[in-house]
Amino acid sequence: MDHKQVAADVVKAVGKDNMVAAAHCATRLRLVLKDESKVDQKALDANDGVKGTFSTNGQFQIIIGPGDVNNVYDYLIKETGLKEVSTDDLKQIAAKNQKFNPVMAFIKLLSDIFVPIIPALVAGGLLMALNNVFTSKFGSESIIQMYPALKGISSMISVMSAAPYTFLPILVGVSAAKRFGANQYLGAFVGMMMTITATNPDAIKGIAYWNLFGLHVSYAAYTSQVIPALAAVWLLSVFEKWFHKHLPSAVDFTFTPLLSVLLTGFLTFIIVGPVMRELSNWLTDGIVWVYNTLGFVGTGIFGAVYSPIVLTGLHQSFPAIETQLVSAFANGKGSGDFIFVVASMANVAQGAATTAVYFLTKDSKMKGLSSSSAVSALLGITEPAIFGVNLKLRFPFFCALVGSCVASTLAGLFHVIAASMGSAGFIGFISIYPKSIPFYLICELISFAIAFIITYLYGKSHMQLVDGDVVAGADDNAATVAAAEETTTTAPSAGADVVTIASPVSGQVEDLSQVNDEVFSQKMMGDGAAVVPSDGTIYAPADGTLSVAYATKHAYGITADNGAEILIHAGIDTVNLEGQHMESFVEQGQTVKKGDKLGTIDLEAVKAAGYDTTVMVILTNTANYQTVSRDADGEVTHGDDLFTAAK
């Protein structure tokens, strides 16, 4: 990489006079800008030295990569004349320049907490939907009435499907504790407290409250509740951090968990739980009121804007609302989950538009991308279709909105609702209330047909040809056409055809998608895995040479002898600690063997400082490999195989 040229390109794209301050971490440039709208995003996207960009918390971050970012940063500082600042200083500068948006902050918070637990909710929802098939009447009898031998299977599935919703506070407790920087097991503890009250012997006898010196405190269970659990775990995190900071180390281990849980429990049952439960009920009732008031007009508008909402990430907050709708419907209240229905119409429409692109294009690469992303969208995951195909060509995205709007309007008119959560696509019919399934399928087909036909016809009459292939709309400028002509090739590095990377730490393995950092969760730096460490010692995952060993001691880069380029990133945003609570035993350029000790991180101290300690292990030259597959799940010990990459 020509570091000087990349720095010059970044300065030109961002604007020298537009830059307020700059810092860098192990992988990216972090800039505070006067006006992010002035950034030439196309120029950055077209730059081979830039792996991606995103904006968060007032910082415009440009991903360069380990080993290169510090050199690019040095040239950027020389060219702009900006004063070098630490990432912590930059954070403070960004906070001063940034206008705080509490709504967006809350939505991002919900997203961070709910994304990791969505698989459990979807699995439970699909099991619930399967049980609906067994128990709902088709004609005069249900399946289990016609075939009594299936009653036991239906009953067992019913128990399994209820688990994630009945004990939802426990799932929320674990995920929220991680997000708030509290102990995840204490978060689960709080969730258990909120769901176990129904089994209290006094409750079984019909006594509905505790008598605390004359104060009657209800111990009604908080099963299926989201907002009360969020508030309780946040309270736990506040207490835990305070006690970690103020209690002597000799008693911290014992008394911090005890006091944190005790205070959280009393405040939750006396004040926080009742207030938050009432707020949660108001929210759910309000959304149902809007649905009942606007009817099919409301669902049509929602269908037209759902995919644009996906672009912002705001859709990640919907599961918090849907769980309340599903739980209420299961108890014979409310109108069911109409959000799921609209999401399905929007997803199918985007998939249909991408399918039309498949038939329009002749380029093998675009055909492969459009076919795979179309299937993904039709099954409920639209990001590959939206970002990889439809937005690049622009018009397919907007054609899909028409199909989604019409189909969602009809779904509202037919009162199609979901009885459980599931996969929002064609197979989502098993989550639909049985009587609505025929109308649901009809609306899905209408959504697909309209989006496909409009996209195909518009593409045929308005698209330009480049080297005989359809690539862009006639109204696009020359720069878009030129970008379509560009091809990028990556030369494979020397090394084995199959490489296996070991875990550098002991702990709980996670998928990268669960990591609370866009660069890693969206695999902008490459594929790999994450480990929530149970021990703070970091070991070399392979034989090789240390290409990166930062003074901040939070990240290491290894060029392995087998050709793999590995980044080990200890914690999220721990660069801000500037080496505090961490030790490093190696230097850049040093040769290491698998299992050599690289450094340590004081997990409790870093958590107490408010940072996530998850360790990311990234194969930064992922492009040189055809597949990357994780070898470990659950608990892993350092040195165990973590993932394998094959060319």
Which residues does the annotation mark as catalytic?
Answer: 25
* DSSP label of 272: I
CA nearest to 380, candidates 327, 342, 329: 342
- Report how far apart, in Å, the C-alpha atoms of 211 and of each of 202, 218, 277, 356 are: 12, 9, 21, 66
CA nearest to 633, candidates 453, 470, 509, 493: 509
Q: In terms of DSSP bridges, do strands 627-630 and 555-560 run parallel, antiparallel, or are they unpaired?
A: unpaired
φ and ψ of 641, to 5 deg: -60, 130
The answer for 52, left when phi > 0, alpha when psi is -120 to 50, beta otherwise, is: left
Contact between 420 and 404 (Cβ < 8 Å): no
- Exposure string of 49-85, with b = 16+ CB inside 10 Å and e = fewer, is bbbbbeeeebbbbbbbbbbbbbbbbebbbeebebeeb
Strands (E), 221-339: none
CA nearest to 613, candidates 512, 535, 551, 498: 535
Please identify which residue in the block is written with the tokens 């350092």.
638
**What contacts 498, CB < 8 A, 6 or more positions away?**
644, 645, 646, 647
- Cα separation, 167 vs 193, in Å, equals 10
- Exposure string of 414-428, with b = 16+ CB inside 10 Å and e = fewer, is bbbbbbbbbbbbbeb
Contact between 265 and 193 (Cβ < 8 Å): yes
Contact between 437 and 429 (Cβ < 8 Å): yes
Q: In terms of DSSP bridges, do strands 141-142 and 59-63 run parallel, antiparallel, or are they unpaired?
A: unpaired
The Cβ of residue 337 has, within 10 Å, a number of other Cβ atoms equal to 29
Contact between 320 and 165 (Cβ < 8 Å): no
Residue 327: both structure tokens together: 């739980």
- Cα separation, 547 vs 508, in Å, equals 27
